[in-house]
Amino acid sequence: MNQYESNYRYLAELLQGRDHLRIQNDPYMPLVVEKIEGTPFISLCHYGEQNHDPMRDPEVVFLTSETIEDEGESTRMVREAKPVYFRNDYVAFEEATVEEDFGDVPVKPQRQKSLDSFVGDWWTNIKEQGFFEKAKEVAAKQAAEQEQQADAGREVDGGPEMEP
């Protein structure tokens, strides 16, 4: 499995089948992972706060892809997530490694190896800080809450009313 396949697997593990998940894991900054609707992008971002403004520290956007690889008599689906955008609001730094939908952000394809290396180290930190376990807890809690809300919205049918 290559690094981009691992990135995809980690993002899917954090998302827990959802399009968006905010993971609060004190004492660390919240980690938000979300599919960007209508695009092949997934954002992964630690959010801090400065003067009541949300600050990305950092945000990495991944370009996801799915391809089918022919392996002789069998085929396999390859799902990858390549980091293509980096932003850190605290140091006013932003760049992309591909020409995409990032506005007037500087595009520096030669920085891809550096971004790949950063992401590899970041995954190590995210794992060691317990965000994967916390993501499972948050997703399970949200699912239970949604089920309770759905149950509360259903009327209990006791059958036809009968006179004694």
Pairing of strands 74-88, 93-96: antiparallel
- pLDDT over 70 percentage in the chain: 93
Residue 149: pLDDT over 80: yes
In a domain? residue 156: no
pLDDT bucket at 162, cuts 50 / 70 / 90: very low
In a domain? residue 24: yes
Read off the pTM.
Answer: 0.86
Q: What pLDDT sits at residue 1?
A: 83
Task: Domain of residue 69: give its range.
Answer: 3-141
Number of folded domains in the chain? 1
In a domain? residue 163: no
pLDDT bucket at 161, cuts 50 / 70 / 90: low
Pairing of strands 20-23, 74-88: unpaired
CA 98 to chain centre: 20
In a domain? residue 61: yes
For 81, 93, 132, 164, the CA distances from 160, given in Å and listed in that order, are 56, 67, 49, 13
pLDDT bucket at 154, cuts 50 / 70 / 90: low
Backbone angles phi, psi at 71, to 5 degrees: -120, 65
Residue 133: pLDDT over 80: yes
Burial class (CB in 10 A: 0-12, 13-18, 19+), 112: middle
Residue 158: pLDDT over 70: no
Mean pLDDT of 127-154: 89
pLDDT of 34-72, one tens digit each? 999 999 999 999 999 999 999 999 999 999 999 998 877
In a domain? residue 161: no
Residues whose CB falls within 8 Å of the CB of residue 25, separated by 6 or more in sequence, listed in order? 31, 129, 130, 131, 134
pLDDT bucket at 163, cuts 50 / 70 / 90: low
